[in-house]
Amino acid sequence: MMKKLLAAVCVCSMLLCGCQSQGTYLKPYAGVTASKTADVSSMIDTRVWEGFAADLGVVSVDDSENGIDSETLSQIDAKEVFLTGTTDSTVLTAYNIYTQMPPASITKILTALVALQSVSDKDLDQEVTLTDDVNIDVADAQVCGFKPGDKMTLRTLLYCMLIYSGNDAANAVASAVSGGDIPAFCDKMNETVAKLGATQTHFVTPNGLDDPDHYTTAYDLYLIFKECLKYDVFKDAIHQASYTADFTRDGQEMQQTYETTNYYLLGYKTPPDGVSIIGGKTGTTDNAGLCLILYVEDASGNGYISVLLGCPDKDTLYSSMSKLLSKIRK
């Protein structure tokens, strides 16, 4: 009976993630409910399925735990590491990519995805009046400084959230899209990741501030980010080095410029030769450490997604990412 049940679950997961008629791939996930204490190895069917997820980079549990590309991994200090192509889906480097961890502000890519799936491009330019949801009571949390009563477009909020990583902007996006019901928005976030096959993810905030029930994996973030890149608005936002927000406060027109948190786009850090940083999202909290997800292209225009989670400090984050991206040139 159990074997029949597992077989049924595996087939459903294949249908969920999408099948192609060509190629042989290792199946990364069986369809299960995300659980922080779950034994991931028991959920991953390592049998070879003909035609599974031909547009995804996939890795077996053993390869994830042992590491793919030991030479590069020896030069990287991070708890989870992933680099895969988006043009041909070749996995170049991977380590520990199925372990649940807090993602910090990388959460905001899913907040953006749910918002973009929920409204039309035209609706992005409708004016939003901010509520008390923009009040963030966590010490040292990154905020844009927005106040209840401020008026701006949803597009402005999305850009401030993705570029400057404003936690108040993330809450405002969730509140605007959900009609003021942020818990309902978080439910939608979890429904969305389930449809993407990101089964080891569970989010309880739209901003990514630490919570024991808020977690994901490097592989799930790859799945989410890959979906985000289908939206031109998202790709434009994550590519910006800065953004000037126009908004109204107490009847007065206001402007505030926010710089990206991405040191590559600011020019503070330099990627390897032949690698262009298109954009990405940073994340930092005490529990998560320093995290970064990027979309980059090589000299021929081939795309790659890279993920680092749990780096100890900013210098290590960027030196490790540059080491990882140097794999693209080889």
Q: Which sequence positions are flagged as catalytic?
A: 105, 108, 165
Q: How far apart are CA 162 and CA 203, in angstroms?
A: 17
**Is residue 182 within 8 Å of residue 171, measured between CB atoms?**
yes
Q: How far apart are CA 152 and CA 146, in angstroms?
A: 10
Q: How far apart are CA 215 and CA 101, in angstroms?
A: 5
Q: How far apart are CA 77 and CA 320, in angstroms?
A: 6
Contacts made by residues 25-29, CB under 8 angstroms, sequence distance 24+ = 25/49, 25/51, 25/52, 25/53, 25/54, 25/56, 25/58, 26/52, 26/58, 26/59, 26/60, 27/52, 27/53, 27/58, 28/53, 28/56, 28/58, 28/59, 28/60, 28/98, 28/219, 29/197, 29/199, 29/200
Tokens of 136: 């963030």
